[in-house]
Structure 1
Amino acid sequence: MAVRGELDLEAAEQLEYALRAALGAAAGGVDLELGGVAFCDCSALNVLLGLREQSLRQGKTVALRTTGPAVDRLLALTGTWTLFEAPCPDGDGDGHGGGEGSGAAHRSGGPAETPDGSALRDLRIEVVQLRRAMQTRPVIDLARGILMASFGLGAEEAWRVLVLASQNTNTKLHHLARDLVCAVQGDPPADAVQEQVAAAVAKVRSEVVAPAMDDGIDRVDD
């Protein structure tokens, strides 16, 4: 299965759905080609790790056949390369072959393991950011579920509401999500936050309804 584009939090749900469907249809497992992935963050890594756990329960495999720099960097930073190594047909060595874009440098002592001071500082900053994102992802998912249940929204619509309300209140998305989760536990958010969430819900609903009305008008005209 070949995956291309940018794998971020917004794309994670679609990625998870596609990968789980592929694993379910596979007899022995899924081989992934990620050489065309231009950006990859911890939300995509969480999807891959979850897919691997599911494959183990089913007696199947998940292996990375090709990767690009974005995926190489993330797997090297998190130390998860060995979890996705593809076995060679003869059982000797890893399945990447050490070619370009295979991530071999990260595992075999190549230049990527000896960065200069500036690169090392950037790596440490990125690790901190990844850890923070992995810590905030659960509360964001909870907040999205609350919006879906409260307003009858779909997953993508609830995400859009979170983003809009975050922008309009100048609040970090995970802080807004935390406020919404706390509200369920009896600590209501500030009036400004409630107003912006309501406004975002109305806007997202209008974006959904408008195309549907246009389609109905087109059908009547036809």
Structure 2
Amino acid sequence: MDVVPDGDRMTVTLWGELDLGSRRLLPELYDMLTLSGTGLDLRLDAIGFCDCSGLNALLDLHSRAAGEGKTVTVRSCGVAVERLLDMTDTRELFADSGRPESAPAPAACAANPREEGGRPTADPPEEDDRPTAHPPEEDSQDLRAEVTQLRRAMQTRPTIDLARGILMASFGLSPEAAWSVLVRTSQNTNTKLHNLAQDLVGTVRGRTLPERVQQQLAAAVAGENRSRPTGD
């Protein structure tokens, strides 16, 4: 992890894998969040693997930021993170504030076009230079939408983790392999990850998966077994 102050925000670059071990980063990320004025901007381009545990850590960080009146945005990410955010409908929770890449001024500076490098100049802005504030009703709607998305994401976490546990127990898969099977089956059947997880959990109660899902699931498991190193 690399942290660079950026005006009222902190730019955090992560690399490696976001899995169960990523929770060890949370205390330091919380500290960076507290030290920042308005929140954190994450750069996750170098993350090669991200599973539910990694997403859980990001959601916990988002929740902590919301409690402090700050934001956490994903400024850039690779395929692994992008795919997970899409499948779990959590992309908008970490949506960029809309600041241009070439002008990463903190959000607090955006309201004052005469500020330079996050510091106000001697001349206060003219009244006409100030952008029109969003109506309270619009801000309230945005907040309600974000809370709804966060609640949905938090509700699906246990189901996805349980589905992964079922695959691990049923096919002798590692946590990483079980996650890969879930993702691949979700993609090949065009099924939302949390919906697939619910269907898998339902099999414990005697429900049957659709035939197409069974076929893709079996193919994904077989693929993981073929890629398993000899001797495992």
Using structure 1 for the length normalisation, give the TM-score.
0.51
* Structure with greater proportional helix content: 1
Partner of residue 175, structure 2 = 155
CA distance in 1, matches of 2:208, 2:149: 29
Partner of residue 57, structure 2 = 44
User: How is 1:1-222 mapped onto 2 (pairs within 5 angstroms)?
Assistant: 2=3, 4-5=13-14, 11-19=18-26, 34-37=40-43, 43-48=56-61, 69-70=73-74, 114=134, 123-209=143-229
After superposition, the C-alpha distances for 1:143-189 in whole angstroms (9 at most, x for unaligned) are: 00111111111111111100111112221111111111111122222
8 A contact 2:14–2:43 mirrored in 1: yes
Aligned-pair Cα RMSD in Å? 5.0
Q: Which has the higher contact order (CA 8 A, sep 6+)?
A: 2
Q: 1:11, CA displacement in angstroms?
A: 2.7
In structure 2, relative to structure 1, the CA distance for the partners of 1:116 and 1:185 (3 Å cut) is same
Q: 1:45, CA displacement in angstroms?
A: 4.3
After superposition, the C-alpha distances for 1:2-49 in whole angstroms (9 at most, x for unaligned) are: 55249xxx83534125548x8xxxxxx96668554469x973344449
What number of residue pairs does the alignment pair up? 163
CA distance in 2, matches of 1:70, 1:116: 26
After superposition, the C-alpha distances for 1:66-95 in whole angstroms (9 at most, x for unaligned) are: 986459x959xxxxxxxxxxxxxxxxxxxx
CA distance in 1, matches of 2:157, 2:22: 16
After superposition, the C-alpha distances for 1:127-148 in whole angstroms (9 at most, x for unaligned) are: 3322211111110000001111
Q: Could you tell me which runs of 5 or more consecutive residues in structure 2 were left unpaired when the two chains were aligned.
A: 4-11, 46-53, 76-91, 95-104, 111-130
In structure 2, relative to structure 1, the CA distance for the partners of 1:208 and 1:103 (3 Å cut) is farther
Using structure 2 for the length normalisation, give the TM-score.
0.49
In structure 2, relative to structure 1, the CA distance for the partners of 1:35 and 1:151 (3 Å cut) is same
Q: Could you tell me which runs of 5 or more consecutive residues in structure 1 were left unpaired when the two chains were aligned.
A: 23-28, 53-63, 76-99, 106-110, 214-222
4+ residue runs over 3 A deviation: 17-20, 29-39, 45-50, 66-71, 100-105, 113-127
